[in-house]
Structures are given as structure tokens and as C-alpha cells.
Amino acid sequence: MTTTAYEPNVVLATETFDVVGTRPIRHDGTDKVTGRAEYGSDGQPVSVLYCKILRSPHAHARIKSVDTSKAEALDGVKAVVTGKDFPSSPPDEEWSGTTGTFKLKDLREHRLATKKVLYKGHPVAGVAAVNQHVAQEAIELIDVQYEPLPPIMTAPQGMAKGATLLHDDLFTEEAGEKGDTPSNLASHLQYKKGDIEKGFAEADVIIEREFNTATVHQGYIEPHSCTVHWNKDGKVHIWNSTQAPFDVRDMTAGILGLSSTDVRLTPKEIGGGFGGKWEPYGEPICALLSKKTGRPVHNALTRAEELESTGPTPGSYIKVKMGITNEGKMVAAQGHLAYEAGAYLGSPVDPGAQCIFAPYDIPNVLIDGYDVVVNKPKTAAYRAPGATNAAFASETVVDEFAEKLGIDPIELRLLNAAKEGTRRADGPVFPRVGCVEVLEAMRDHPHYSAPLEGPNRGRGVAIGFWFNVGLQSAANMNVNGDGTVTLTEGSPDIGGSRVGLAMQGAEVLGIPAEDVHPSVVDTDQIGFTAGSGGSRVTFATGWAVYEAASDIKRQLIERAALIWGVDAGDIEMEKGVVQSKSDPDLRFTFKELAAELDGSGGYVSGRGAVDPKGEGGAFAGLIVDVEADPDTGKVQVLRATVVQDAGKAIHPSYVEGQLQGGTAQGIGWGLNEEYFMDPEGRMANSTLLDYRMPIALDLPMIDTVIVEVANPGHPFGVRGVGEVNIISPPAALANALHRALDVRMEQLPMSPGNIMEAVWKKGK
């Protein structure tokens, strides 16, 4: 571990606050460190049944028959369901939500296949039994006859002429227009800026490279789990581990043919999500089983089921061609990105394409993106989805430019950095962003200038951009007689958000964060709140809390006016004190006024419901030192420093945690993690022993630098912080490895085997 005396954070935001920017203890901390917090599988109802799911052993096969009779006859089995138990709807009927627009029949086939299985692990039937062992025995008695088909395992394979089709009703979409022949290519997008041919003609140096990245999983510690009760009144109640209660509620209702509010979802504490817990998996199956039995039904996935049948982030094939002048000015950039959607359309190739060259002001750009269905699990979001794959490609080429031109890699990036007014390749112009400030903080950090001695060692840098999102959020706040305030909101706490939200309310009211008591409540108890993802909670739900607290502030001023018999216009509230502007004797602290509420009109409640814009994109970069063994390909990360623009860090400790967490995951993605698929399309490493995520011994202490370039689109200047930090590690590691071993890695992961292949190839 390397430590420095460096003063870590760069505060460029100019407004100062009393609560925002401090580091109070999180409200949920005691329950979590003492083990009292209840997660998805904790605290089951007395009459619960246990569900197990029969899954396809094939990556691609036609289902010829399903016979459940032996399972149904097994003692202890209470119900068996297949996809035929779902309601039917017209073939083209669509469902839309925050994850996109899909055919309802595909959403149902994804949960329980009836015609074809499209990946190994695809659910075919569900069983509810008195315990898990009986349920497991029962699913092994279900007889499914398959007709295996050749699997499609990569995007280029899927796009090849004559490729086996996964769907006979999927047609390529290009900007709202559909093709007329079925294809594995779900969509093609394109971004164009300037004149790409002219740009390359102006370039003195042109580099073109191809990259492949493997499928990886979010790797949250707690697997998906749910308990579902279909009540006699037709209402469905779900308790589960999710980061998106309303989104899962709505999709589950759509699959079951119900209205959204026929489903109530209570989110339990969540053991990680990172984007992967945004959709239902077991919920619709458990709902069908509960409807049949009248009892609550519980399902918890094993780790193998998690890896094989939930939503990893896609493997990809990316080709990058960039041109630069001898003076270091980037003049042209072209990208071809083909991402694996998994079994159903919807890879994150769009954001990948939008982010790939976003850190730079390049006048001539052409980007083509392809969303391709393959016989792997349907992909789901993972921290800055699509952007990490893309940056691995573009940031490797930028590093090669620096080497060829003899320019310092950070100075080269600064020379071309995007700033306020830079037009992105996808069209919009950047507002105030912190790309330059992040790069300057990297350049000025002692890590960047520290000596790195010894053989086979190298230092690399890279940066990345992510949009962050807004979306709807709601919050309610109630003032109690003792001067505390309860806060109810609908954003599952996956990164310390409770305390960050409470702090924003406390700042408005001028009270300590500890006096605001936050709770994450169920979907019947709060207005629509989009899930905890997209780096949106502190921004959007924080804004809802700001509105709720401001509502309370307004009412408290009116109440003081009523009590004192003066005009409300004569009263102000600052730093938790309500006072007359003209009479210094008229003064209440927050607690004193709270005590006067009962008897003067009752307690006060505030509400906030927002759908904000102005989320403010963010940049982050990584400096990393590695030592690589030239004989084995093993890489040791010696030192890592992550720098990120947070806008305003509400609670710096949890921002630093996000920076470290995203970097750790990015290092795993870069060095070891991959779905290792056999020739039949089956995952060969579906345990955490073989799916190699980094552990504490693999990582140094990750130093963090929070750069605060306030976002003008938020009351406190917040930008999202949860995602952008994962983008640069694979590229930074590749660049460090180049200096350590003199090889350019063009494949993720940079595992020992892949590194040795590259070393041997270079030696030939």
C-alpha cells in the first residue's frame, strides 16, 4: 500500500454549506454492522413455499415437449408452472419502462420459455414445494425434449451472413425504420460529426486497432431473491432484493397482465446491484405459483443461476481508427461497436457509442453501433453500461498516440479535452463539465510524478465520460414534536444514499443530519421513484428531498407568523432559526417551533416530486502502476489513484467509497473476469472460485481524489458519482502493461493466459 501526505480533494465548487460536505455516520450503519438489517431471503412468512426453477441445459434449442406430471405427483410439491400459465397477448403488443421497449411476449418467454431456449440457464418451468430439497427433486422429474440448434456466441458471428437466427420476428431497426427480413442484428445506430474522410486526410498519424471484450457479471454479493404472495383479492405483494422497486413492479405487472398498482413491492435491504437488479427474474414465476397455491412463494438464486441466467454486461467487438497531427491535435475518430445483447435485444451499445470519444473535442467523427442478439443471458446494466468496453478501445489508441508523438499522455489528453461548449459526436454541446479539471488533478497528483522503479513495471492512465441520468423521484418529510424529521423515499440504498438524502433535507432546514430519519418505503407508500441506478439517487431523489424540505420551510414560516400574529413576509428562516426581520425578540429555533406545532394547526409535512433535467455528466480518470510477470502473465496492481468530478460531494466518505468500488470492479473487469464459454455455449466457470473477481489481496489501497466542479443543474451542485469510475481501469491497466511488458493488449480480460499469448505473438 502506498500512502501520501497529499491533500486529496480539489474543491472548485464555490458555495459552502453547513451539512452538505460533512461526514456524519450513516443512519443504517448499526443495523448493517450488527447483522440486524433484513435482506431478500431474511424473515420469511410462516406459510411460505419454496420455488426452484428448471433451466435449459442448451444454449440454443427448440422445445419439443414439456411433461410436468411426475413432478406434480411428488409428495410435497404444491404447484408446477410453465410459460403457458402466463396470459397471452397479441404478438406485437409492447411494454415500455425505464429499461426500454420490449414485446410483451418476449418478456414472458424470457421468464419462462415455451418455444425456444436461447441461452444455457433459460427458465422452462417453476416448482413450489414445502422445502427447497423437494422443489429441487421435483424439477429434476420434469421431462423436457429439446431439438438443439447451433449457438451464436459473439456479435460478429450473429451479424455474419447466413447466421442461425435466434428470433424469426426480429428485424433490424435503423432510426425508427425496420428492415424487412429477420436478423440477429436488432438495431444499427450512427453518429456523424464533420467530415471523417477530410479528417483522416489532415492527420499525420493514423492508428487503427480491433478489440474484443468478454462478458462479465456485476458480481453483487447477495443473489437475487424474492417472496411473492398473490392474495385472494387479486393483489400481488412482492418482497425482494432490488434496486428498482417501481420498475420491477411495473414489468412484473405487465408480464402477469395486471395493472401496475395491482402489484405492491416492498424492497428489502440490498446486498449490491450495480445495475443488475433492475428487472424481475423469479418474481413472475413465484407469482404464478402463489396464484395456484394461495401461499407466499420464495425463490433465491444460487450463484451459478446468477451467473448463467441473470443479466451480465455484454461482450463486444470494437474497431477504432483515429487520426492526429504531429502537434497532437486529434482530427478524426471512427468507431465500429458491435455489442452482444444476449438472448433478447437491448445491449448498451447506444451509450457506448455516445461515450467512446466524448472526452475529446474532435472535429470529424463517425460512429456506428450494432446491437446483436446472441445465445447468452440477456444483458443488464452494469455501472456506466457500454462505456467501459468503448473506452478500453479508444483510450488504448490515445495512449499509443502519446507514445508515437512523444507527448505526455495526460498533456495529450489535455490538449484535446472536451470542455463547456464542445460539441459531442452525438450532437449536444457540453455544459459546464470537469474533464480538464480531472486531467489537471491527475497530472498534479504526486502519484503521477512518483518514481516507478524495477523491471516489468509500468504506469498507465485513462479517462472516461458518463452521462448520469435524472428520472422521477418522490420524497415526503414530516416534522415531529421533538424537532426531528422523518423522511420517506423510494430509492433502495445501494451506496449510502439514505444519509446523503437526509443531509440534503437537513441542509435546507438548518438541522443536523442525525435529526432527519430516513426510510426506504414500498411502492404503495411513496410516489413513483425510478430505480437506484444511473448515478441518479443523490441527484434526483436528493432534489425531491430538497423540494420536500423547502415545502416544510415555507410552512414553518407561515406557522410562526400565525403564532406571532405578524406577516409571513416579515419572517425568515436561516440555519434552523425562524425569526422576525424586524423584531429580534420573535425567534424560534427549529426544535422550539416544532414543539409549538401541536395546538397551532398540527404537525407539518412536506412533499417533493420531481422529474428533473440538468443531471450533468461526469468524467473520471485512473492512474495505475502494475508489475507483470513476463513468464506467467500474472499482474500485480501496485498503486491506483482515481480522480473524479462529483459536482458537489454531499457525503465525501461515500463518494470516495463509490470511486474505490468502481475502480475495484474495473480492475477485475480488466484483469480477470470473463464468462468462459465452451463450444456448445455453456458457461464453464459459473462459480466464484472460477469466475475470478478481485479480492482484497489483489488490490492496493485505492487513493481517491474528488474534484468538485459544481453542476449548475442541481440545487447543491450534485453530479452522479456511482458509475463513471469503472470506465477507465481496463484501459489504464492496458496502458500500464504496455510500459511493463511492451505489448499492446487488445482483448479483455488481460488474464495471464491472454497476456502470455500477446507476449508470444510479439516475440514471433
- Which one among 536, 639, 682, 714 touches another protein, defined by CB under 8 A? 536
The Cα–Cα gap between 505 and 336 comes to 45
Neighbouring CB atoms inside 10 A of 522's CB total 17
Q: Does 468 bind another protein (CB under 8 A)?
A: yes
Min dist CB 210 to another protein, Å, is 23
- Which one among 263, 398, 530, 667 touches another protein, defined by CB under 8 A? 530
End-to-end CA distance of the chain: 37
Give whichever of 507 and 615 is closer to another protein, judged by the CB atom. Answer: 615
- Which one among 4, 69, 101, 632 touches another protein, defined by CB under 8 A? 101
Q: Does 247 bind another protein (CB under 8 A)?
A: yes
Beta partners for residue 11, in sequence order:
708
Question: Which residues, 6+ apart, have CB-to-CB distance to 170 below 8 Å?
Answer: 182, 183, 184, 186, 345, 373
Min dist CB 386 to another protein, Å, is 8
Which one of 22-30, 104-112, 379-387, 397-405 is the stretch in contact with another protein (CB under 8 A)?
379-387
Q: Does 281 bind another protein (CB under 8 A)?
A: no
Q: Does 312 bind another protein (CB under 8 A)?
A: no
The Cα–Cα gap between 634 and 750 comes to 9
Beta partners for residue 462, in sequence order:
622
User: CA angle, 56 as apex, 50 and 62 as ends, to 5°?
Assistant: 135
Give whichever of 498 and 536 is closer to another protein, judged by the CB atom. Answer: 536
Which one of 99-107, 199-207, 399-407, 409-417 is the stretch in contact with another protein (CB under 8 A)?
99-107
Q: Does 417 bind another protein (CB under 8 A)?
A: no
Which one of 393-401, 531-539, 567-575, 641-649 is the stretch in contact with another protein (CB under 8 A)?
531-539
Which one of 346-354, 588-596, 641-649, 675-683 is the stretch in contact with another protein (CB under 8 A)?
346-354
- Which one among 244, 286, 462, 618 touches another protein, defined by CB under 8 A? 244
Question: Which residues, 6+ apart, have CB-to-CB distance to 11 below 8 Å?
Answer: 708
Positive/negative CA dihedral, 641, 642, 645, 650:
negative
Site mask for another protein (CB under 8 A), range 171-210, x = bound? ---xxxx----------xxxxx------------------
- Which one among 351, 409, 495, 500 touches another protein, defined by CB under 8 A? 351
Q: Does 659 bind another protein (CB under 8 A)?
A: no
> Would you say 336 and 305 are in contact if contact means Cβ atoms under 8 Å apart?
no
- Which one among 87, 100, 446, 481 touches another protein, defined by CB under 8 A? 100
Identify which of 714, 495, 706 has the alpha carbon closest to the alpha carbon of residue 615: 714
> Would you say 641 and 659 are in contact if contact means Cβ atoms under 8 Å apart?
no
Residue type at position 181:
T
- Which one among 286, 322, 384, 461 touches another protein, defined by CB under 8 A? 384
Count how many Cα atoms sit within 13 Å of the Cα of residue 30 in the half-sphere of its side chain: 1
The Cα–Cα gap between 597 and 85 comes to 55
Min dist CB 255 to another protein, Å, is 16
Task: Give the 3-state secondary structure of residue 163.
Answer: coil
Min dist CB 365 to another protein, Å, is 11
- Which one among 381, 545, 594, 737 touches another protein, defined by CB under 8 A? 381
Give whichever of 296 and 534 is closer to another protein, judged by the CB atom. Answer: 534
Give whichever of 510 and 617 is closer to another protein, judged by the CB atom. Answer: 617
Give whichever of 175 and 696 is closer to another protein, judged by the CB atom. Answer: 175
Which one of 16-24, 300-308, 464-472, 546-554 is the stretch in contact with another protein (CB under 8 A)?
464-472
The Cα–Cα gap between 535 and 677 comes to 32
Q: Does 495 bind another protein (CB under 8 A)?
A: no
Distances (CA, A) of 94 to 108, 166, 283, 341, 577: 12, 19, 20, 18, 53
Min dist CB 396 to another protein, Å, is 24
Site mask for another protein (CB under 8 A), range 716-755, x = bound? ----x--x--------------------------------
Count of residues that bind another protein according to CB under 8 A:
56
Helix, strand, coil shares, percent, the chain, to 5: 30, 25, 45
The Cα–Cα gap between 571 and 704 comes to 43
Give whichever of 401 and 528 is closer to another protein, judged by the CB atom. Answer: 528
Q: Does 278 bind another protein (CB under 8 A)?
A: yes
Q: Does 614 bind another protein (CB under 8 A)?
A: yes
Min dist CB 292 to another protein, Å, is 30
Task: Give the 3-state secondary structure of residue 116.
Answer: strand
Give whichever of 430 and 448 is closer to another protein, judged by the CB atom. Answer: 430
Q: Does 428 bind another protein (CB under 8 A)?
A: yes
Q: Does 489 bind another protein (CB under 8 A)?
A: no
Q: Does 709 bind another protein (CB under 8 A)?
A: no
The alpha helices in 612-651, defined as continuous H runs, are: none
Identify which of 468, 481, 712, 500 has the alpha carbon closest to the alpha carbon of residue 594: 481
Give whichever of 352 and 576 is closer to another protein, judged by the CB atom. Answer: 352
> Would you say 499 and 651 are in contact if contact means Cβ atoms under 8 Å apart?
yes
The Cα–Cα gap between 49 and 78 comes to 8
Q: Would you state the cell numbers that stand for residue 662, as one nine-digit string?
A: 468502481
- Which one among 427, 446, 601, 753 touches another protein, defined by CB under 8 A? 427
The Cα–Cα gap between 40 and 506 comes to 30
Q: Would you state the cell numbers that stand for residue 58, as one nine-digit string?
A: 442448451
Q: Does 470 bind another protein (CB under 8 A)?
A: yes
HEC string of 229-261 equals EECCCCCEEEEECCCCHHHHHHHHHHHHCCCHH
Count how many Cα atoms sit within 13 Å of the Cα of residue 262 in the half-sphere of its side chain: 16
Query: Which residues sit at the interface with another protein, rule CB under 8 A?
Result: 96-101, 174-177, 188-192, 244, 247, 275, 278-279, 348, 350-351, 354, 380-381, 384-386, 426-431, 466-472, 530-531, 533-536, 611-615, 713, 720, 723
